[in-house]
């Protein structure tokens, strides 16, 4: 603790934040570095309880369909991508994407996250065809898909402006943007881990454009790749500033870098304590973002459950398919019954939500909990089993 920073000073900031007062980036950094862990958690939980006095914590059933692993961006933290021409590269045909969406719908999924690599041959027309086919086959499935980096890539491949790409994606069926590609938005660490990706300011500009067009998004943060504590808080500040302008970020989702099979080799990682401290500070600092999601997929179920005591009001998804962080070593798996149990045993009332955080089913009576054994995370994953490359319409076979 700094010599001029007293316990009383920190408590005064915690009290103000817990009472819905806005705190500065410097105050947030001081809390992140030096506030006692339990006091930090109590303050964040106070904010959560004031926002959501019903005691409900939510989850969603979704499928993350990764349409290609071919990517020209070569981020150092990524174990999923393969360079163009690599024998292990693949791209799903649109018919396979639609088939997987159908499986998800049959299992009660309400949301599809279509995400993939920056394939040099996939322009706006391919995405319009994919979204159009999905919406035609399953109009009730919400397409919460892509991210700022994919929009930038599509604009380059198709020689279109960012605004036009977003307009056309939305017209084709995209409902909202995921927070993918944010990683860390601060220039120094972003340049180190993703030198070929657009700067953080451009990612934020994409979100501004989407929000201006009435398309909401989430905001994310991958922590643990060597960024400083100050850079972690600066990431939060950048998000809060854009949210002050647009109001378009629906939720904030911090998660931790996974160290296997990538060029960073786990040289730096975030601890569970650092993660929980970040969750709590985010709840206090992001006073203009409604929801905060815990990440059981990357930090484990126990830490994910603990996040519900550090300001989180959502425990993410029963993710029927996920390949990206799994490729980098995320081994955590769950199922519908376990997610409900984790929420209830954290002294919250579990509720299934939709993309807009509306409650679809509130599980007030444990005797009435859904018990479908088919609804499990990683119901399907290219990571957990060998598969052959497939040919996308209009594309050469990769591999």
User: How confident is the model over 169-186, as pLDDT tens digits?
Assistant: 999 999 999 999 999 999
Q: Is residue 375 part of a domain?
A: no
Q: Is residue 315 part of a domain?
A: yes
Q: Which domain holds residue 174?
A: 53-368
Q: pTM of this prediction? A: 0.89
157 — pLDDT class (breaks 50, 70, 90): very high
Average pLDDT for 100-121: 93
383 — pLDDT class (breaks 50, 70, 90): very low
Q: Is residue 390 part of a domain?
A: no
Top-ranked range on mean pLDDT: pick from 258-272, 301-315, 322-336: 301-315
pLDDT of residue 385: 39
Average per-residue pLDDT in the chain? 88
Q: Is residue 7 part of a domain?
A: no
Q: Are 44 and 69 in contact (CB under 8 A)?
A: no
Both tokens of 243, joined, read: 């949210």
Both tokens of 9, joined, read: 């000073």
Residue 215 has pLDDT above 60, yes or no: yes
Q: Is residue 8 part of a domain?
A: no
CATH number for the domain harbouring residue 107: 3.20.20.70
Least confident of 33-37, 132-136, 216-220, 327-331: 327-331
What secondary structure, in 3-state letters, does the chain show?
Answer: CCCCCCHHHHHHHHHHHHCCCCCCHHHHHHHHHHCCHHHHHHHHHHHHHHHCCCCEEEEEEEEEEECECECCCCCCCCCCCECCCCCCCCECCHHHHHHHHHHHHHCCCCEEEEECCCCCCCCHHHHHHHHHHHHHHCCCCEEEEEEHHHHHHHHHHHCCCHHHHHHHHHHHCCCEEEEECCCCCCHHHHHHHCCCCCCHHHHHHHHHHHHHCCCCEEEEEEECCCCCHHHHHHHHHHHHHHHHHHCCEEEEEEEECCCCCCCCCCCCCCCHHHHHHHHHHHHHHCCCCCEEECCHHHHCHHHHHHHCCCCCCEEEEEECCCCHHHHCCCCCCCEHHHHHHHHHHCCCEEEEECCCCCEEEECCCHHHCCCCCCCECCCCCCCCCCCCCCCCCCCCCCC
Q: Is residue 69 part of a domain?
A: yes
Both tokens of 37, joined, read: 């862990």
Q: Is residue 13 part of a domain?
A: no
Both tokens of 31, joined, read: 């809390």
378 — pLDDT class (breaks 50, 70, 90): low
Number of domains within the chain: 1
Average pLDDT for 215-237: 96
Burial class (CB in 10 A: 0-12, 13-18, 19+), 183: buried
Q: Is residue 146 part of a domain?
A: yes
């Amino acid at each position: 603790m700094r010599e001029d920073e007293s316990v009383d000073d920190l408590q005064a900031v915690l009290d103000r934040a817990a009472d819905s007062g806005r705190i500065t980036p410097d105050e947030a950094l001081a809390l992140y570095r030096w506030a006692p862990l339990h006091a930090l958690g109590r303050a964040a939980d106070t904010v959560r309880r004031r926002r959501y006095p019903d005691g409900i914590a939510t989850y969603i059933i979704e499928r993350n369909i990764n349409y290609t692993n071919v990517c020209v961006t070569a981020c150092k933290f990524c174990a999923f991508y393969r360079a163009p021409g690599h024998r292990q590269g693949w791209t799903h045909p649109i018919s396979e994407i639609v088939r997987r969406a159908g499986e998800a719908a049959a299992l009660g999924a309400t949301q599809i996250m279509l995400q993939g690599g920056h394939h040099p041959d996939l322009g706006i027309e391919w995405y319009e065809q994919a979204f159009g086919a999905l919406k035609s086959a399953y109009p009730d499935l919400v397409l919460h898909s892509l991210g700022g980096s994919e929009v930038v890539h599509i604009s380059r491949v198709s020689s279109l402006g960012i605004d036009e790409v977003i307009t056309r994606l939305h017209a084709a069926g995209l409902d909202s943007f995921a927070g993918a590609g944010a990683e860390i938005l601060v220039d120094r660490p972003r340049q180190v881990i993703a030198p070929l990706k657009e700067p953080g300011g451009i990612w934020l500009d994409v979100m501004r454009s989407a929000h201006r067009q009435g398309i909401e998004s989430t905001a994310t943060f991958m922590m643990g790749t060597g960024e400083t504590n100050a850079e972690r808080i600066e990431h939060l500040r950048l998000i809060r500033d854009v949210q002050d302008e647009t109001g378009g970020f629906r939720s904030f989702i911090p998660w931790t870098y996974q160290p296997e099979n990538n060029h960073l080799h786990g040289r730096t990682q975030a601890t569970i304590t650092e993660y929980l401290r970040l969750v709590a500070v985010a709840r206090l600092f992001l006073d203009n973002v409604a929801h905060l999601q815990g990440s059981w997929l990357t930090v484990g179920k126990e830490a994910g459950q603990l996040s519900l005591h550090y300001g989180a009001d959502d425990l993410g998804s029963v993710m029927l398919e996920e390949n990206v962080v799994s490729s980098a070593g995320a081994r955590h798996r769950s199922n519908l019954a376990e997610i409900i149990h984790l929420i209830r045993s954290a002294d919250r009332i579990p509720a299934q939500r939709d993309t807009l955080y509306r409650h679809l089913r509130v599980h007030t009576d444990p005797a009435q909990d859904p018990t479908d054994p088919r609804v499990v995370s990683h119901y399907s994953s290219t990571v957990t089993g060998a598969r052959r490359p497939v040919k996308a319409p209009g594309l050469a076979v990769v591999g």
